[in-house]
Chains A and B, each alone.
Chain A
Amino acid sequence: MSAPRPWNLVAELTYRCPLRCVYCSNPLDFARVSDALDAPAWCDVFEQAAGLGVVHVGLTGGEPSARRDLEEIVAGAARAELHAHLVTAGTPLSERRLEALAAAGLRSVQLSFQDVDRDASDRIAGRSFFEQKLDCARAVRRLGLPLTLNVVLHRHNLSRVREIIALARALDADRIELANVQLHGFALRNAEALLPSRAELDAASETVRDETLRSARPEILFVLPDWYRDRPKPCMGGLGARTLVIDPSGRVLPCHAAASLPGLEFWNVAHRSLREAWEDSPGMNAFRGEEWMQPPCRSCPERFRDQGGCRCQAFALTGDAAATDPACSLSPHHEVVLRAREGAERAHAVALRYRDATPG
């Protein structure tokens, strides 16, 4: 099939990160993936991406500021006329460094927070960086760059949604993304410890509604998690449709988690042009269109809205990447999700497992 135009490039510059969040969305074997592309190689990729129609690059990781050549990479994105958006945990990122990045052409910043105070943040991140994050947020706003806060929601911080929004407001963030934890990657290993109960979620959505009415700033993004809605989260307009991801090794992927899908062949920008890797690689084409769909998705009128849900979640929960996402109540495997939901209703103390370098 003919490949659509990509709009957005997610550049995973490195999987290194000083934090060890319990719900990290990097692949479980992240430690085996080295930083193969130097700054000139990334700049070349950006020029190629612009040639395909890409207008936006998310510089992410891991922690992109762990790369000492980040300034050079940002400058390359600016030269290719891409909107350069930095997705960071805020460390190691001094105000001086941010100034240099802004001068190189950085256009906006997304900063992750784990919670509203140090102890709670440390419990999730496995390291202590809360104050650095506050400094980083203030520095971003002093430089006049648009700031988005990103907070993953789970049972340990959901009751503090009001304070989380208040923090975003106090830091003069333009936008806050409240992302409910998903059931794959490191989060799946911690599912029992992270999933909130229905009552906790309902209370949080009520709070979000109030806060949205209260003030236009920050813009608040909150979507009920798919495992409570009986329908899966739409998958970015489809895999290989609008977004391309390049991992630190140079592999061109349709999604940050797609490397975890078995049996798919992705091509590397070290050996192929970006156009070839986007248009022709078997892995990129595996989930384009709807040929790959199984029943019940195949004939479902909702497939244009959700594309059958998340391939990575489908694989993680059923072992089959082409299966209907079990978050969907029409999936024959939906009971996996129902069981997780029931588990979340029982109060329990389960230890959190931090992101670490030993997969399993």
Chain B
Amino acid sequence: MSPEELESALRTLLAERYHDHHPFNLRMHEGRLSPEEIRTWVRNRYYYQTRIPIKDGIILAKAESPEFRREWLHRIRDHDGDGPGDGGLELWLSLAEAVGLDRSEVERLTLVLPGVRAACDDYVKLVESSDLLTSVAASLTEMSAGEIMRERLAAFERHYPWVGEEGLRYFRSRTVQAPRDAAHGLHFVLAHARSDEDQRRCIAALERKCEILWRLLDAIEAAHARPRLAPGARLRVDPAGTGDLVVMAERAIRLSPSGREIVELCDGTRSVEAIASLLRERHPDAEGIEDDVHEFVAGLRRVRALEAA
């Protein structure tokens, strides 16, 4: 492919797979998220924000050229600022405060959903295990970031007026930074991905990155789904044991006592988040109970014992 063809292949990929099409993002921009959903998104997306400068540090360490490093260093600056109270992470924390979250709770990362954590960690791992060229290619989702930030800014001003102007500064800053970063990254990829093999690897890396962003929103969306037993699935006592079972057309699943407690709360009216906090109240000392609830429900949804109401 010529550089122009490669660029258009990358743009086509983004047009099809970038997370602006994700149902959760669509609902956000249409003004259909509840304040709880906005808060879950802000709290979880903060984990992604914290991974960005770490990933950029890894990329920096792969680069031989001072010119490249000088340019890439901007990104870390943008996120971390020049001192306390400055930079993108700080702006995200003001968004967190503006939507009604406790700043220090967000910073401690204790309530990050396991699916979000896994997706973000996969991004860092992807960059760690890639060479410079493909890790830069993976960052090219920024080519679509300027646009999504502009839409988001407009959507928040229009649909979520309860989030004060002060909270929107991150989006505003990114509408400028993302296109600049993207231009540099794209220029680098087009200049260095010359062989078919390299071009193929760049496209694959960007595809993986799109998948990661998609999974991140999947996990957030799943946390607000209101699960209930799928039609045809039934909770019953195990006739040949002491425990409980979910029995359905294709399989039977053995439940532990805590599994049963979760399934009983899956009545189609409570979100997984709500079930997790209810169980936290019931078992104040149980370590990692929120993660367990999210993972357990995700597992039962995968085998279709539970469905979203």
Contacts and interface: CB of A to CB of B under 8 A. Distances in A.
A55 B230 contact: no
Contacts of A144: 231
A145 B250 contact: no
B245 interface: yes
B183 interface: no
Contacts, number: 49
Contacts of B245: 55
A146 interface: yes
Contacts of B249: 83, 85, 107-108, 110, 146, 148, 175
Interface size class of A (residues with CB under 8 A): 20 to 34
A228 interface: no
B234 interface: yes
Interface in B239-274: 239-241, 245, 247-250, 252
A55 B252 contact: yes
Nearest to A108: B249
B84 interface: no
Interface size class of B (residues with CB under 8 A): 10 to 19
Contacts of B240: 5, 52-53
B247 A219 contact: no
A53 B231 contact: no
A174 interface: yes
B250 A55 contact: no
A161 interface: no
A175 B239 contact: no
28 contacts: A5-B240, A50-B239, A52-B240, A53-B238, A55-B236, A55-B238, A55-B239, A55-B247, A55-B252, A56-B247, A81-B236, A83-B234, A83-B247, A83-B249, A85-B249, A107-B232, A107-B234, A108-B232, A108-B248, A145-B231, A145-B232, A146-B230, A146-B232, A146-B249, A174-B232, A175-B249, A175-B304, A219-B304
Given A56-B247, A83-B247, A219-B304, 18 more contacts: A5-B240, A51-B239, A52-B240, A53-B240, A53-B241, A55-B238, A55-B245, A81-B236, A83-B249, A85-B249, A107-B232, A107-B249, A108-B232, A108-B248, A144-B231, A145-B231, A145-B232, A148-B249
